[in-house]
Amino acid sequence: MRPAATGMLKERAKVWRWRAVNPGAGRFACIRQGRRIMSIHRSNKMAISGIINTNVNALNTLNALGSTSSSLSTYIQQLSTGKQINGPSDNPAGYAIAQRFQTQINGLNQAVSNGNQAVSLVQTATGALQNETNLLQQIRTIAVQSANGSNTSSDRASLQGVVSQLLAQVQTIATQTQFNGQNILDGSFSGQQFQVGANANQVINVSIANSQANSIGVNTIGTSGTVYAGASGSVTNNGSAYTINTGAGGFTAGTVSISGSAGASGVAVTADESASNIAASFNAITQQTGVSATANTSVAFTVTTGSFSFSLSNGTSGNPTNTVNISANVTSTDPTGLSGLVASINNSTAQTGIAASVNSSNQLVLSQNQGQNILVSGFGGSGTLQAGSATAISSGSGTALVQGFVQLQSTQGYSLSGGTSIGLANISSLNAASTVNVSTVQGSNQAISIIDNAINALNQQGGALGAIQNRIQASVQNSQTTATNLQAAQSVVQDANIAQATTQLSKYQILQQAGISTLAQANSLQQSYLKLLP
């Protein structure tokens, strides 16, 4: 019985016929001269068709083997690098996230390095300042010794020789202390920035004052020194804060000139200008002068009992702003009696910025902490307000304008001059440490004051540098913590799961071996047809 799939192969004019050897099982055989040459199953269409030009089985096996080899390579790479994302094609979104993390981590690591270098610079400066302070302490001790009446002129001359050598060493330290080739104590290290963050403008600004012997202890204004409007003069300051008081008659129009470590500039002042505006003008030229300013306005009124009704505002008498109406009764001049007036003013603090309180002298204190003017106008009622020796404000008596004060601060020396627009009061003037001379009793006493001021200046600078060092170290610690957390986050996205990758590697190794074996069998199937040839 010949099946439907039985064919005839003609080769060299010989006919080979297929014979069913197990029809029920679909098995056939090719018989030649009574011998079985080949047996096939009906489901093997390729064998049945006898196609040898295209080995479909081998192609399918080869495709599967290629996919297996690709997966195997992926897991080999993951295990060799420890990363599940080794390129954009592995996971485009994850790759972008991991790269952003890496950018931030690199920046933070460099910021840590920058901060450590900055700490080293600051430590170098503070160490040198301490050495200068030690030398100045020796000079002061010698000055105290020289001021003693038991010393002769010859003794003091010998002591002055020692002082001169010590001052020379102070000058040497100030001019020769360097970090990475930069002088840091001669006044040239000013307005520098330490990049302590991974992003732009994450900096700490540092300026180190001039600690040369001819700069420390020079022309100092005491902390109580006040500059009043209305007189002329100038003063030089080595960094101590002092006040420009615009409340004693107000500034007249003119220009206040400042010459600081970074340069010189001027501030134009108009009549009745607020301390707030003057401070803003000073701060606008801080980069040129190295001098910054703050402003505040405060006035204390003696209050009588009675009724009060007045307008409270900022601005000037001709241009009031943020005006509010105040009404209250004062039954006594103690804090309890003034409480109604204080409460009425403080209810409008959010609008005017003016706060009221009662001081220990039972005076009404009005304050504007931004330095804006305080204007009292439209006064009515039976009570009165009086500031100092000024004329008391009463019903129909006009207005009171309080302008406040400006405080200047710099870590380095600067000079201030005002011509006819600004005057000076309570100013104590001293010479530089380099001029110390203990060859006389008077010179020795003056030397003590000069050296005290010089030591104080160095101590202030050392304290400021210590605070800067703490800031830098805190920034370094924060950068290290942030970098650690980012690395942990990056690991979640990028790093390979070794256990999982090992399991997958074993799987694809087995599949690859099976694929290679199957491919060999698929290729050998074609070779079976050669047996059909005579």
Strand 203-206 to 192-195 pairing: antiparallel
> End-to-end distance of the chain based on CA atoms, in angstroms?
26
* pLDDT tens string 391-403: 667 766 656 777 7
DSSP string covering 64-105: HHHHHHHHHHHHHHHHHHSBS--STTT-HHHHHHHHHHHHHH
Cα–Cα dist 119/272, whole Å? 46
pLDDT digits (tens, 9 = 90+) for 157-210: 999 999 999 999 999 999 999 999 999 998 888 888 999 999 998 999 888 888
Mean pLDDT of 348-356: 88
pLDDT of the residue at 244: 44
The model carries a pTM of 0.51
pLDDT digits (tens, 9 = 90+) for 445-487: 888 988 888 898 899 889 989 999 999 999 999 999 999 999 9
Cα 408 from Cα 244, distance rounded (Å): 8
Lowest mean pLDDT across 110-114, 277-281, 384-388: 384-388
> Could you report the per-residue pLDDT of 71-100, keeping only the tens digit for each?
888 888 888 888 888 888 888 998 999 999
Is the pLDDT assigned to residue 236 strictly greater than 50? no
Alpha-helical runs (H) found in 405-496: 441-494
The mean per-residue pLDDT over the stretch 44-70 comes to 74
Name the amino acid, one letter, at 513.
Q
How confident is the model at residue 182, as a pLDDT? 93
pLDDT tier at 139, thresholds 50, 70, 90:
very high
Residue 81 pLDDT: 87
Domains of the chain: 1-49 (no CATH), 106-215+431-485 (1.20.1330.10), 226-291+410-417 (no CATH), 297-405 (no CATH)
Number of other CB atoms surrounding residue 192 within 10 Å: 16
Q: Can you give the pLDDT at residue 49? A: 46
Average pLDDT of every residue of the chain: 76
Q: What integer pLDDT is reported at residue 439 of this predicted model?
A: 92
Rounded Cα distance between 533 and 104, Å, is 72
